[in-house]
Amino acid sequence: MKNQSQTLFQKDLVNEAIKQSFVKLNPKIMFKNPVMFLVEIGTVVMLIVSLFSLTGDKSQGSFSYNFLVFVILFFTVLFANFAEAIAEARGKAQADTLRKTREETPAKVVVSNKQGFQVETVMKKSAEMKLGDIFLCEAGDQIPMDGEIIEGLATIDESAITGESAPVIREAGGDKSSVTGGTKVLSDRIKVKVTTKPGESFLDKMIALVEGASRQKTPNEIALTILLAGFTLTFIIVTVTLKPFADYAQTPITIAAFISLFVCLIPTTIGGLLSAIGIAGMDRALRANVITKSGKAVETAGDIDVLLLDKTGTITIGNRKATQFHPSNGIQLDEFIKASALSSVADETPEGKSIIELSQLKSEDLLVPNPVYIDFTAETRTSGIDFENTRIRKGAYDTIKKLTEKAGNIFPSETQEAVTRISENGGTPLVVSVNEKVWGVIELQDIIKTGIQERFQRLRKMGVKTVMVTGDNPLTAKFIAEKAGVDDFIAEAKPEDKMNYIKKEQQEGKLVAMMGDGTNDAPALAQADVGVAMNSGTQAAKEAGNMVDLDNDPTKLIEIVEIGKQLLMTRGTLTTFSIANDVAKYFAIIPALFITFIPALQKLNIMNLHSPESAILSAIIFNAIIIPILIPLALKGVAYKPIGASALLRRNLLIYGLGGIIAPFFGIKLIDLVISLFY
């Protein structure tokens, strides 16, 4: 997606948007926007008045004047429709690009699955595949459907989805097992289990989302629509009450003047741009390579207070690697290395694989009779192997300590010292026991990502508290937290600890964001107000979150927060600007209505407009043209800077509040000078 053109007004998109502007004149469509619907009714009334003027009756003004008012109002509605249509057209263009990616891909479906790649396959179209099917992909094959790798590893080109040309490695086991339909296998081979139904794939969801088919108004957008409808109702009452005042003052007011006043006073600017702002917010998120399941998630991101993020792969580079073996006294180094390697044979995690790499033992060296492998779980926090009368366990310091002490064995002091030393240096100690006796400790090391401190500093300026979540012991966690510059940390974290922390913060009235990629992150992602799952993560994580990051960049939340804040600010500032405009329009139109018959009102004519007709025309022309002028701002969003909420508010009130009052005075006066040449 990154390689797509960022031009706001491409010729083909503009042509499509112009066509849709007329299609959207349908009252059934217009009714969804109460402000612009009433402007459309006013436009129809002015057409009738214009036709009535042709009969020779001059009580409502000349035909040319009435028709000109009708044309201006008609363009006001068209401009509002165009704003929404251009935002939708940009989304549809993205959808078309994605459609090209989603082809009818042939798939090698496994008939009867068994271990290895020597299995019988049958060719099927991707559309014929169903949930739970297993397919085979080799170098050069396009992945037909979304799924999870159950066997093998491969280099995959995801540029069709992410826009990123650099290939990525996906493998069975761990949290990088997910693959997306439409991507391509570059090397090796994999066996994949389909995790989605036809028509519900990741690409299908993306297409529906960017086309606007699944776009629902956010709670904030609905609330603002109701508020604008309330304003509009108020101004209907204001406009209607002018009639008896005019009759009392023996001042005839034309229908054109009433409708013009009403259209100018109601918040047409924000009414016309509201949908475009919402669609553009979703569009900006997609251009940042983030798929959002709803506009509400983007809005909420703009208001988050706390961010929870995993240490491994987020704050640190990828996975921890085994760097050194520290045997206990009386244990031979080579014996300890072999025990450590044996405990990691069934460990599919990168840490487990790095232990075997560091041991430099061959697979034949690790053969034992009748092995029973013990898988790692978040609860036990240990893994290992049982064979004959030998029980080897590898796990966290506190877990192995409890295990050995329960068996009546003493935890060696030299291993205790090694554990403390490793932890203080920012490493992770993994203690190995054989038959419930401690044999030593394996040192794992993390490397903190470059520039991460600056990114956390930026989040702090935004008012977001960062919390690092890790399964490490408190000493290691503290070292990494201080080095990375996070505000707080949760050490020795179990899946429920993340949940409890999120719930605690939410009970205090805070909005919490969580980033994760594993199945164990799914409950926390679902609980968080904003759950961002990595695209490379498991299917469970992607289903639980309300956003998916295609780049698998855990610091992406900074951009997500900025997009959210930008969406809220754009809507707020343009609403302020729209309402501020009414002040100038009031001073333009009200004196124009009464000045001929009540000369004392001349003092209100501070703009000194040429005539009542030119004043009304100037006001409604300005009211119309300000919509297309603001379309680029609605699509791009108001610039956000992390300078604090109060400073931002002052800045935006000065620019859009005060600017919204001043701009129409100059604009209307300038238009009046031009009109006075003709009227």
Residue 449 marked in a binding site:
no
Range name among 52-56, 107-111, 631-635, 654-658 with the lowest pLDDT average = 52-56
The percent of residues above 70 in pLDDT, for the chain, comes to 92
Residue 398 marked in a binding site:
no
Residue 576 marked in a binding site:
no
What is d(CA 220, CA 564) in angstroms, rounded to the nearest whole number? 12
Note the pLDDT of residue 142. 85
Note the pLDDT of residue 97. 65
Quick check: 346 and 438 in contact, CB under 8 A?
Answer: no
DSSP state string for 506-522: HHTT--EEEEE-SGGGH
Cβ atoms within 10 Å of 285's Cβ, excluding its own = 23
Per-residue pLDDT for 624 more than 80? yes
Residue 380 marked in a binding site:
yes
| CB-based contacts of 293, cutoff 8 Å, min separation 6 | 205, 209, 546, 547
> How sure is the predictor about 462, in pLDDT bands with cuts at 50, 70 and 90?
confident
Mean model confidence pLDDT for the chain: 84
427-436, 475-484, 578-587, 605-614: which is most confident: 427-436
pLDDT tens-place string over residues 514-570? 887 777 788 888 899 999 888 777 777 888 888 888 777 767 878 888 888 888 889
Average pLDDT over residues 201-224: 69
pLDDT tens-place string over residues 146-185? 888 888 888 888 876 666 666 788 888 766 788 888 788 8
Range name among 144-148, 151-155, 419-423, 589-593 with the lowest pLDDT average = 589-593
Average pLDDT over residues 230-237: 88
Per-residue pLDDT for 273 more than 50? yes
Q: How many residues does the chain have?
A: 679
Quick check: 586 and 265 in contact, CB under 8 A?
Answer: yes
The answer to pTM > 0.85 is no
Note the pLDDT of residue 516. 79
Q: What are phi and psi of 54, to 5 degrees?
A: -70, -20
pLDDT tens-place string over residues 399-418? 899 989 988 999 999 999 99
Residue 382 marked in a binding site:
yes
Q: Which residues are catalytic?
A: 310
Cβ atoms within 10 Å of 58's Cβ, excluding its own = 9
Note the pLDDT of residue 210. 62
Note the pLDDT of residue 206. 65
Per-residue pLDDT for 576 more than 50? yes
Note the pLDDT of residue 492. 82
Helices (H), 157-307: 159-162, 202-210, 219-248, 255-265, 268-287, 295-301
Average pLDDT over residues 463-471: 86
Residue 381 marked in a binding site:
yes
CB-based burial label for 483 (10 Å; 0-12, 13-18, 19+): middle
Quick check: 386 and 351 in contact, CB under 8 A?
Answer: no
> How sure is the predictor about 3, in pLDDT bands with cuts at 50, 70 and 90?
very low
Fold of 317-447: Calcium-transporting ATPase, cytoplasmic domain N (3.40.1110)
> How sure is the predictor about 313, in pLDDT bands with cuts at 50, 70 and 90?
low
Strand ranges in 60-120 using DSSP code E only, listed in sequence order: 106-110
pLDDT tens-place string over residues 471-493? 777 877 888 888 888 899 988 88
Give SS3 for 531.
strand
Domain boundaries, the chain: 11-93+210-287+561-677, 130-197, 290-312+449-550, 317-447
Quick check: 301 and 564 in contact, CB under 8 A?
Answer: yes
The packing angle between helices 63-101 and 34-53, to 10°, is 140
Among candidate residues 221, 447, 442, 426, the one with its CA nearest the CA of residue 319? 447
Average pLDDT over residues 620-624: 92
The percent of residues above 90 in pLDDT, for the chain, comes to 19
Quick check: 130 and 194 in contact, CB under 8 A?
Answer: yes
Whether CATH 3.90.650.10 fits 290-312+449-550: no
Residue 394 marked in a binding site:
yes
What is d(CA 503, CA 618) in angstroms, rounded to the nearest whole number? 56
The packing angle between helices 474-484 and 413-424, to 10°, is 20
> How sure is the predictor about 4, in pLDDT bands with cuts at 50, 70 and 90?
very low
Average pLDDT over residues 185-211: 77
Taking the CA atoms of residue 21, residue 25, residue 30 and residue 36 in that order, the dihedral angle to the nearest 10 degrees is 80
Q: Contacts by 67-75 with C-beta closer than 8 Å and gap 24+?
A: 68/617, 69/256, 69/259, 69/260, 69/616, 69/617, 69/620, 70/43, 70/46, 72/617, 72/620, 72/621, 72/624, 73/39, 73/42, 73/43, 73/46, 73/259, 73/263, 73/620, 73/624, 74/43, 75/624
Residue 347 marked in a binding site:
yes
Residue 197 marked in a binding site:
no
Report the CATH number of the 130-197 domain.
Answer: 2.70.150.10
Half-sphere exposure in the Cβ direction for 365 (13 Å, CA): 14
pLDDT tens-place string over residues 381-396? 788 999 888 899 998 8
For the chain, the first-to-last Cα distance in angstroms comes to 52
Average pLDDT over residues 317-345: 87
What is d(CA 172, CA 158) in angstroms, rounded to the nearest whole number? 17
Half-sphere exposure in the Cβ direction for 235 (13 Å, CA): 23
The structure tokens listed for 29 are 């469509």
| CB-based contacts of 316, cutoff 8 Å, min separation 6 | 446, 447, 448, 449, 480
